[in-house]
Amino acid sequence: MKPDSEPPRLDLVERAHLKEPGDSSSVMYRYAPAPGLAGLVRRFWIPVWSVPPGQEAPQRVLQYPVCLLVVASDYARFYGVVTGLSTTTLTGDGWAVGVMCTPAAGALLAGAPVARYTDGYVDVAEVLGEAADRLVRRVRAAMAGDPHAEVAHRAAMAAFDDALRPFLPVDEEGELVDRLVAFVEEESAVIRVGQLCDEFGLSERALQRLVHRRLGLTPKWLIQRRRLHEAAERLRTGDAALAETAAVLGYADQAHFVRDFSRVTAMTPGRFAARHRAAPGVSSRGGAGSASGMPSGGRR
């Protein structure tokens, strides 16, 4: 990775991460990919944590519809999408270097439909082959000193850059699924699968097959997950009543919204909002976890 193409630091807060108010167990570093790698990588995320002996720091995530690559000090894995609430429990001291793939990238890296990886993972060597060993050695060497150092992060990301570029370019179907996911994530008015069929000129059956093949998911899941992300963001940052939030998100009634949110997060939206209102001024910059669902070397 050349110096003039070093990725910028990202300080965005992931709405997918249901971070506990006051959780200071870790620092999260996020970076955009180098321009040439953007077809495969949405962003890099590097959590570094330190949890006191005898304590635990659970990290709960509503994962985006993308696969993940994660290298830590004691494992290296390729993850499919966790369809429910993903929970990782951090303990001790540690770090991880993660890649949030683009929607298209999962099938390109796996060389096959990604449905087999949904709610699961494999060793990174299963998808990267011989390149995996060099990648893991380079990332661990880079992070062996100060895992908070930007120079370490750049070296680790450069290792991923070299390992992933051979999988380019993105195929035509991959570009289509990228556009499809972007449309769902950016258009809050999308609340029915039929709207996706109309937008992309696909039959419902063809849409179902595409999303299952490239993401291991269903179109309905994409829409529901976007709505839950929006719900968590609104509940965490605003004072809107639950009925108003449900209406804005396109739910027919408040009860339906409460059921959806509670079923996936194991917490009612009222309780979620109250916990965040009770902790004003808590900084979200250092949240452990990310969009991954399994971001680190903690215990699942």
Q: What is the pLDDT of residues 129-146, one digit of tens each?
A: 999 999 999 999 999 999
Q: What mean pLDDT value characterizes the chain? A: 88
What are the pLDDT digits (tens) for 80-138? 999 999 988 899 999 999 999 999 999 999 999 999 999 999 999 999 999 999 999 99
Cα(193)–Cα(221) distance, integer angstroms: 10
The CATH code of domain 8-167 reads: 2.60.40.1180
- pTM (two decimals): 0.87
What are the pLDDT digits (tens) for 218-273? 999 999 999 999 999 888 877 678 888 899 899 988 999 999 999 999 899 999 88
Which DSSP helix (H) or strand (E) runs through 57? strand 57-61
Residues 6+ apart with CB under 8 A from 160: 41, 44, 69, 97, 99, 135, 139
Residues 6+ apart with CB under 8 A from 33: 7, 40, 41, 42, 43, 44, 157, 161
Q: What angle do CA 220, 221, 224 make, to 5 degrees?
A: 85
What are the pLDDT digits (tens) for 179-222? 999 999 999 999 999 999 999 999 999 999 999 999 999 999 99
Query: Which among 80, 61, 123, 122 has a CA at the least distance from the CA of 213?
Result: 80
Cα(47)–Cα(17) distance, integer angstroms: 13
The pLDDT of residue 256 is 93
Tokens, residue 26: 């870790």
Q: Where are the domains of the chain?
A: 8-167, 172-277
HEC readout, 100-142: EECCCHHHHHHCCCCHHHCCCEEECHHHHCCHHHHHHHHHHHH
CATH 3.30.1390.10 for domain 172-277, yes or no, is no
